[in-house]
Chain A
C-alpha cells in the first residue's frame, strides 16, 4: 500500500492534501481522482457554476500526476439553447 496525496485546485484556490489515502497503486489513485473529478463537475454543472478542477496526485516518489476537468467548456448547439444556458447561469 502507498499513501497518495491529492491536491485539488479549482478556479479560485488550491487545497493541498496533507492526509492522503492508502491505495494499492497509482492506477487506483488515478481511478479515485477521475471519480472525484466527475463528482465535482456534476455538482458544478447542477449549480450552473463555471469552474474547472485539477487534481495533482503525489506519492512522494514518482509524479506528480495531473488530471483536470472543466465545466467552462459546455457548449450549446443552437442559439435558443445557448440563451437558456445563459439564463440558467444567471440564476
Chain B
C-alpha cells in the first residue's frame, strides 16, 4: 500500500525534486498525510468557484484545468495541470475558491486536508517552503500566460503552450523523446489561448504546414523543437528548473 502511494506521489516528488532535493523524512510526511484517492470523469468539476474548501487537491494522473466562466457563458482557461501539480494548494490560505477546477481528461487525485498541511508548516520548515514554491511556480506560469495573451500572436501562443507542456511533462517523466499526450478539444484549446475555436483550426493547420509539430488526436509529436522555441519566444527561466537549496 505504501509503495502504491509512493508511485502516485512520484510526479510530485519529481516536480519538487527538480527544484530542490526532497529529504526522505519529507517524502514520508507527504505520504503519511496523503488522504483518499478519487477519480473524476473528463468534463466534470473537481473544485467549484465560490466553494469554501478544507482540503487541497494533488493531481496524480490525467489533466485538469483552472477556469473562470463569464456571464455570457464564455470561458477562459487560466492553467492546465498535470500529475505532480496541486490544483488548489493556494486554497489552504485563500479558503474560498476564486475559480473552478475541471477535469480535462479522466483524472485521479489525492486530497490533502488543510489541517494536515497546517501541521506540516509547524513541523517541517523546508517542506513548507517547497509547498510555497509549488504555488509560486503556478504564479510564474500564470505570468507567462498573461504575457502571451497580451503580446504574442495566436500562433506563438500555441507554440508556447506546446513548449511549456513538453518541458513540464518531461520533468515528471511523462514524455517519451519528442512525444506527449494532450487530450484537449478545439474548443478547450480556444478557451486556453483566448482565441476563437475557428482561429484555433487555422493555427493548428499553420503549425502542421510549417512542420513544427504533428498533432493526431491527443498525441503530439514535436518535429522541430528549435523552430517551435523561436516561434514561441520560449525561455524556460520562468519554470525555475535548477535544483538548488530553497
Whether the Cβ atoms of B187 and A40 lie closer than 8 Å is no
What 0/1 pattern do residues 197 to 218 of B give for CB contact below 8 A with A? Answer: 1110110010000000000000
In Å, the complex CA distance between A47 and B197 comes to 21
Size class of the contact patch on chain A: 10 to 19
Residues of chain B having any CB pair with chain A under 8 Å: 153-155, 186-187, 195-199, 201-202, 205
Whether the Cβ atoms of A39 and B201 lie closer than 8 Å is no
In Å, the complex CA distance between A19 and B185 comes to 11
Most chain A CB neighbours (cut-off 10 Å) among B153, B186, B205: B153
What 0/1 pattern do residues 4 to 35 of A give for CB contact below 8 A with B? Answer: 00101000000101010100000000001101
Whether the Cβ atoms of A21 and B153 lie closer than 8 Å is no
B150 nearest CB across to chain A (Å)? 12
In Å, the complex CA distance between A15 and B187 comes to 18
Write out the residue numbers on chain A whose beta carbons fall within 8 Å of the beta carbon of B195: 36, 39
Whether the Cβ atoms of A43 and B205 lie closer than 8 Å is no
Residue of B nearest to A34 (CB): B196
Whether the Cβ atoms of B198 and A32 lie closer than 8 Å is yes
Write out the residue numbers on chain A whose beta carbons fall within 8 Å of the beta carbon of B153: 43, 46-47
